[in-house]
Structure 1
């Protein structure tokens, strides 16, 4: 079974997703993906709520989260204890895992308040964003004034494929992605069970579509994952045929 891998072209920041569709009912049975796409899906779980709200827009988020974001945005700076508090709520720092995951979301500038400070003790591991604040370590109780630089490897670092790049799951494995984004490993038993569940009697009747997933699709997947249980169908089955490579299975 072919394992789908990330594009290695610098100008094509996409990964591949293979959709298995019943053309008679235009129903998505499942998708097959490699490490790159699964890493991206799992990376979504590490995104701060503030980052998701910025990516999707205040009106696109579920419930009242957009209202909270807008309130922080509109509340005068004088009501916050200090400038870093407001900035870090609106532009939270992203996890470093982004450097090891398919780069399928727009680059988002993190808070500019990324300086860290520590006290003079070499043994103390406490750090803070606030310059000259008191260290709470029982051994020092000193002032935290020594500047440490926060290094964010996520800025502009695209995924290049392969286990050496980290991420979350193992490479060289085919993964099955259900329409509701449930992820499992591909196995013959799982596929047979699924075909019976969907009442598919002849596998040759199925249609295979290979989709190139880029930044636009990444944002659509993130949005759909918060709004529906049929994420892949809502994002990809409405795509124009010209953007999809389709071929029958034999």
Structure 2
């Protein structure tokens, strides 16, 4: 069995506040942090929220995931659609495979063609059993030849040092920058901070992913067991309807409302609306953050996105 890879961090800790002020790490750790943005919501739910018992949950995405998981195959257009939602593909898979610590345990993408009409059709599927245009199943696996860079870099330069703040703001480290940033945070005397070393494996990275989505202080929460700065996902501002781009697509809902509680109890919808909801599971969290344009607090993901 391959030995688990570890990452190394240097932490500057404010012991009085029990808080990580800043961490210093090389590109391996920053690559792993930035890879969070590539993960589809369905993958994130499966990895860190599916069996979460505490109240720290990622909105209603877990309910959406479980709705797909608990539905019979007959609900879907075909059985492959269900697998697509529960195990969505990561468009950056080839990059993430080079990570020293990769949280995504999805099987590498495979490619299948129809064994009956191999020549001339040009159709392939990333899931075995998809229907070919001839009516047969695409179940013959093929290998695609790709050209990969010989560089072991993923997203950032590995040998460069980076500063990672408690709210996951990431900056490149250079002489004098650490001291300047600490002064900006109100720490005039760096000697009041304690240096700590941390060794980070897969479990810690999974914890960081979960906290990155639900907390304002992921580093403190993971490395100091600190929960003093919780963050509930809340709308920081609403986009006026006049600013929402118009669309020709309309989906009808028939809703039942509790007037006493002033809330929707349930809605009866057509399949196009359910398809729309389920498609959330295939969207990368980085894309979601970009589309929300700062109108919604998703832990520290906004800071991670801005750092990129």
TM exceeds 0.5?
yes
Write out per-residue CA displacement over residues 23-73 of structure 1, whole angstroms, 9 at most, x where no aligned residue.
Answer: 343332210011110110111111121111111133644111111111111
49, 71, 80: which one pairs with 1:84?
80
Aligned to 2:67, the other structure's residue is in SS state helix
178, 202, 206: which one pairs with 2:165?
178
Instruction: Name the structure 2 match of 1:121.
Output: 120
Instruction: Name the structure 2 match of 1:132.
Output: 132
Instruction: Using structure 2 for the length normalisation, give the TM-score.
Output: 0.59
37, 48, 60: which one pairs with 2:40?
48
Instruction: Name the structure 2 match of 1:140.
Output: none
CA RMSD of aligned residues (A): 3.0
Unaligned runs of 5+ in 1: 1-9, 135-142, 152-162, 240-250
Instruction: Name the structure 1 match of 2:69.
Output: 73
What is the distance in 1 between the residues matched to 2:13 and 2:206?
A: 23
What is the distance in 1 between the residues matched to 2:72 and 2:197?
A: 49
1:105 aligns with 2:98: no
More moved, 225-234 vs 190-199 = 190-199
Aligned to 1:121, the other structure's residue is in SS state coil
What is the distance in 2 between the residues matched to 1:145 and 1:235?
A: 45
What is the distance in 2 between the residues matched to 1:57 and 1:146?
A: 32
- CA 1:116–1:22 in 2, change beyond 3 Å: closer, same or farther? same
1:230 aligns with 2:214: no
Unaligned runs of 5+ in 2: 145-149, 227-308
- CA 1:24–1:68 in 2, change beyond 3 Å: closer, same or farther? closer
1:220 aligns with 2:207: yes
Aligned length: 208
Deviation for aligned residue 1:181:
0.9
Instruction: Name the structure 1 match of 2:21.
Output: 29
What is the distance in 1 between the residues matched to 2:201 and 2:75?
A: 40
What is the distance in 2 between the residues matched to 1:196 and 1:232?
A: 20
Write out per-residue CA displacement over residues 68-109 of structure 1, whole angstroms, 9 at most, x where no aligned residue.
Answer: 111111111111111111112112234222320122527344
Give yes or no for contact 2:182–2:188 (8 Å, CA) kept in 1: yes
Give yes or no for contact 1:177–1:183 (8 Å, CA) kept in 2: yes
Deviation for aligned residue 1:214:
0.6
- CA 1:75–1:213 in 2, change beyond 3 Å: closer, same or farther? same
Instruction: Using structure 1 for the length normalisation, give the TM-score.
Output: 0.72
Give yes or no for contact 1:120–1:144 (8 Å, CA) kept in 2: no
Instruction: Name the structure 2 match of 1:209.
Output: 196
Write out per-residue CA displacement over residues 198-229 of structure 1, whole angstroms, 9 at most, x where no aligned residue.
Answer: 33232233211110001110110010001011
1:191 aligns with 2:178: yes
What is the distance in 2 between the residues matched to 1:64 and 1:172?
A: 40
- CA 1:215–1:145 in 2, change beyond 3 Å: closer, same or farther? closer
